[in-house]
Amino acid sequence: MVFSNNIGVRPLFDRVSCTYTYLVYDRETLDAVIIDPVRETFSRDLRVINQMGLKLSWCLETHVHADHITSAALFVKEFGVKIALGEKADVECRNAVQFSDNQFLEVTKDLKIRVITTPGHTICSVCFHVEDFLFTGDTLFVRGCGRTDFQMGSPRDLYESVHRKLYILNDETRVLPGHDYNGEMFSTIGEEKKFNPRLQESKGLEEFTEIMNHLNLPYPEKIDQALPANLRCGEEA
Ligand SMILES: [Fe+2]
């Protein structure tokens, strides 16, 4: 558990897709949102929400995922939550609300989440900023970043999103990524600016593009099932 003033963050992990899901809540009222939940871990997440006495009103998606199916639709069924996505997400979902750059999602007087549009990993990628927590999805990982070769991704967009919109934040801002494949949990903007091998502050766009265009990553295993399902926010067809 991590706290900043009146905001609590409870991280959860899916071992199969290496996805981080986060519960973010107002410690006084226990109003809560869940970020990037995974369908396979729905019952675990539900158990934690109930045990903590959280009142879940929103499910936030950092983007339309290609590697796992979201449990957003299950949370709509369970609690009638709304689903928050970036304005460029081409989804058809019940209860979806799309946010533009710098728009706030107000849950309570303390839990006000700023949406930062950060295209690059996908065209619809966003980060969520509350207190000194930054939920970066696949835009920025601890010492890495998401790939840019699918879903209208672009190395240039990702580079500019990170440098112009994330690296301007306070160095102490905590980076809570959408995935981790190396057993790390979170870092800070200051650390990433110094040590991220792809996105070190001193590295230019050309070098970054070169790296991203030569990753030689395999075709994402679950993309053909995950994308169509996630365009419905995980609702069964
Ligand atoms: Fe992704």
The model's pLDDT over 149-162, given as tens digits with 9 standing for 90+, comes to: 999 999 999 999 99
Spacing, Cα 36 to ligand 1 middle (Å) = 10
Spacing, Cα 121 to ligand 1 middle (Å) = 7
Quickly count: other Cβ atoms within 10 Å of residue 103's Cβ: 18
216 contacts: CB under 8 Å, gap ≥ 6 = none
pLDDT tens, N- to C-terminus, the chain (237 residues): 788 889 999 999 999 999 999 999 999 999 999 999 999 999 999 999 999 999 999 999 999 999 999 999 999 999 999 999 999 999 999 999 999 999 999 999 999 999 999 999 999 999 999 999 999 999 999 999 999 999 999 999 999 999 999 999 999 999 999 999 999 999 999 999 999 999 999 999 999 999 999 999 999 999 999 999 999 999 988
The pLDDT of residue 1 is: 74
Spacing, Cα 187 to ligand 1 middle (Å) = 19
Nearest to 70 by CA among 17, 138, 120, 109: 17
The pLDDT of residue 4 is: 85
pTM: 0.98
The pLDDT of residue 3 is: 85
Spacing, Cα 28 to ligand 1 middle (Å) = 32
Spacing, Cα 234 to ligand 1 middle (Å) = 15
Q: Look at residue 209 and give its three-state secondary structure.
A: helix
CA–CA distances in Å: residue 12 to residues 146, 210, 231: 19, 33, 23
With beta carbons less than 8 A apart as the criterion, state whether 134 and 175 touch: yes
Spacing, Cα 147 to ligand 1 middle (Å) = 8
One-letter amino acid identity for 199? L
Spacing, Cα 23 to ligand 1 middle (Å) = 19
Tokens of 93: 């979902």
Spacing, Cα 179 to ligand 1 middle (Å) = 8
What's the longest Cα–Cα distance across the chain? 49
Quickly count: other Cβ atoms within 10 Å of residue 121's Cβ: 30
Residue for token digits 């995974």? Answer: 38
One-letter amino acid identity for 25? Y
CATH among 3.40.50.10540, 3.60.15.10, 3.40.50.720, 3.65.10.10 for 2-215: 3.60.15.10
60 contacts: CB under 8 Å, gap ≥ 6 = 33, 34, 35, 36, 83, 84, 85, 105, 113, 128, 135
Q: What residues have their beta carbon closer than 5 A to ion ligand 1?
A: 138
51 contacts: CB under 8 Å, gap ≥ 6 = none
Spacing, Cα 191 to ligand 1 middle (Å) = 22
Read off the pLDDT of residues 170-195 as tens digits, 9 standing for 90 and up.
999 999 999 999 999 999 999 999 99
